[in-house]
Structure 1
């Protein structure tokens, strides 16, 4: 297990096999990775990175995660999107970029990785703020998402605003608080969008200091009460970054959770 949990954020990863654009903006792109082995075509896995939606964090820090998922036999796309602190980032473009990417990536990935991407909607793997975006996308465009693996997701934007997670990250994303922009919170907050129509697994560490595990407990409880096919895997002794680190003790649980979302597992 790495001594510094944040080491994964800067750990080198193999270069992607291809990069595709889903729009005209320089950040409307995705890195693609071929699945290891000669197996049959499998559904695309789209990784949505975290970083509290801020410009200083991009898809590259999920390189080790994406490479490990490809090593398990999945075709993988690392989705980039516009973020707060850069022109065009924040409401609504951060969210609509993810929807636009999901609309195009199955076609783009199938063309770039011939014979390796099965037809159909992808499974989303989102971490932290990327977990929020994955849950938002699943609720907003249910036909475009086959399932969600949410890793320590910011699953309640109103509560994250109240807790001032990452010093104003939610206000930077949505322009202010729930009292100022109730319509934005109603449209973007996963807690307000239950039930989901796809299966969802939420994985969260009990020692997470960036996103409290209570947020996932409450999101899953609300989803189950509303009829969602959602379950929580709570990992004792795990912090925030171990969930995206293939060298961590959390990795077997993350891999198993993803496997449970695939109909071909």
Structure 2
């Protein structure tokens, strides 16, 4: 079910929790446009939600792309293992069913920033998850490309660096030693290379998620890494920044 909450935007609900929603925005004057499934960051914490990607939504729709801005349960608000992962999988599935006749399902990209970049990479390999893992699908995800912006892509590296006061252990309920099965089901760096064309974009000046995390992920998976000079963490989601054209170029590349 969905309900309009402001002009041009529809809210799709995929569950009963207040955070189990997706805001869908269509570019004006288009028929069956490409679709970006957008996943926000914030170190998976409840303090950060989808609204801080509003400028990104506006910029992408200007490019003629429909955007599904996903909310999900987060640490401190009923999220973490397994809810966060179950939610992201359910949201993507619900969006593709609800919009099947309104977007081009042959041109779907997952785009995520920071923790959302981790979730985008994870979502692209849902068919490779261990049996019984939250969000697992039997069939390959219906996605053509993935653009991960400053992603927390290697959970073991994020944990080792102690980023955001050890948030990975809050997300998964333990360490790689105490809950190895959870890391095995959620860490893109060990889940393999996505079948979809995938690009990681990161700035070497990032002091939130250091670029070494992206380098580690890409070295392990063979995914392409674009390092944007003189760029930190948040420029990648600022359409007014010098880095934004690089983001758009990556999106065009993965959508073909």
TM-score normalised by the chain length of structure 2: 0.89
CA contact (8 A) 1:244 1:251 kept: yes
Match of 1:44 among 27, 35, 38: 35
**In 1, Cα distance between equivalents of 2:255 and 2:16:** 32
Match of 1:7 in 2: none
Partner of 2:198: 200
Task: Name the SS for the 1:63 alignment partner.
Answer: helix
Pick closer, same or farther for the CA change 1:206–1:15 going to 2, 3 Å.
Answer: farther
Task: Name the structure 2 match of 1:65.
Answer: 56
- What's the counterpart of residue 20 of structure 1? 12
Matched, 1:106 2:99: no
| Deviating more after overlay: 23-32 vs 122-131 | 23-32
Alignment-derived partner of residue 6 in structure 1: none
> Is 2:21 aligned against 1:29?
yes
SS in 2 for 1:124: strand
Written as runs of structure 1 = structure 2, the 5 A alignment for 1:1-265 is: 17-36=9-28, 38-86=29-77, 88-110=78-100, 114=102, 117-120=103-106, 122-141=108-127, 142-224=140-222, 230-263=223-256
Output the CA distance in 2 between the equivalents of 1:238 and 1:15. Answer: 34
Shift in alpha-carbon separation, 1:101–1:121, aligned structure 2, 3 A: farther
**Counterparts of 1:61 and 1:167 in 2: how far apart (Å)?**
22
* Distance of 2:23 and 2:93 partners within structure 1: 16
Q: Distance in 2 between matches of 1:121 and 1:190?
A: 22
Offset of residue 39 of structure 1: 4.3
| SS of the residue 1:253 aligns to | helix
User: Unpaired runs of 5+ in structure 2?
Assistant: 1-5, 128-139
Q: Secondary structure at the match of 2:141?
A: helix
Contact 1:64 1:246 in 2 (8 A): yes
In 2 relative to 1, CA 130–120 (structure 1 residues): closer, same or farther, beyond 3 Å?
same
Deviation at 1:202, TM superposition (A): 0.4
RMSD over equivalenced CA pairs, Å: 1.6
Does the 8 Å contact 1:106/1:121 carry over to 2? Answer: no
Q: Give the alignment's TM-score, normalised by structure 1.
A: 0.86
Aligned length in residues: 239
Distance in 2, matches of 1:172 and 1:135, equals 20
* Helix, strand or coil at the partner of 2:33: coil
Task: Tell me the equivalent position of 1:10.
Answer: none
Distance in 1 (CA, whole Å) between partners of 2:169 and 2:212 is 21
